[in-house]
Amino acid sequence: MAAGFTARVEAVAPDAWGRPAPCEGWTARDVVRHLVTWLPGPGFLLGAFDVDTGPLPSVDDDPAGAWSVVRDAIQRSLDDPAIAERVEDCGPPGHLSLAAAVEMACTPDVLVHTWDLARAVGLDERLDPGEVHRMAEGLLGVPPEVDQAMRSSGHYGPRVEVPAGADEQTRLLAFMGRRA
């Protein structure tokens, strides 16, 4: 999952970081800023695990470098069984291991923001079909109360209508409030 986002980050032209992203009010740089501050931050599931990124390059000066540091820190933690399988209280989702927290929240967030970044800067918008399918299976049929909770939390925008026969990626992005 991180490989797809990383490939897009590394392909962004220096003058493209200020282009508007599909997330209202965000630029391409802000997409990276969101991931490098939110994923390891105290307000997110990984905050319970104290993933140590060390000093981060400025997202304003080096978005690719900042992403690389965060990605590598999360991967190092996942590669250490003592950290990856340690169970912590992650708030409303309950007690989770780092590996489960990454699977539950990081993977979907990185997936959708891969598309956001690609759309913002004109790169390949195709996402990994296996990841899209796995995520779509978990989201597209959620009960109305779960759908409402996800939207009211600000995680997703209003659902976008898609034509009959739309492919799975288009349907998933539309569920998240994005027009593919």
Please name the amino acid found at residue 179: R
Mean pLDDT to the nearest integer, 114-121: 98
User: What's the pLDDT at 170?
Assistant: 97
pLDDT band of 52, cuts 50, 70, 90:
confident
Compute the distance between CA of residue 98 and CA of residue 48 in angstroms, rounded to an integer.
9
Work out the pLDDT band at 42, boundaries 50, 70, 90.
low
Angle between helices 2-11 and 107-121 (to 10 degrees): 20
Q: How far apart are the first and last CA of the chain?
A: 19
Dihedral sign, Cα of residue 26, residue 163, residue 159, residue 126: negative
pLDDT for position 8: 98
Question: Containing H/E element for 108?
Answer: helix 107-121
Q: Are 32 and 66 in contact (CB under 8 A)?
A: yes
Tokens of 44: 């997110």
Q: Find the range with the poorest average confidence among 3-7, 25-29, 90-94, 128-132.
A: 90-94
Report the predicted TM-score, pTM, of the whole model to 2 decimal places. 0.91
Q: How far is CA 155 from the centre of its chain?
A: 10
Ranges of beta strands (E only) in the chain are 87-89, 95-97
In the chain, where the domains are located? 2-104, 126-180
Collapsed DSSP state (helix, strand, coil) of residue 65:
helix
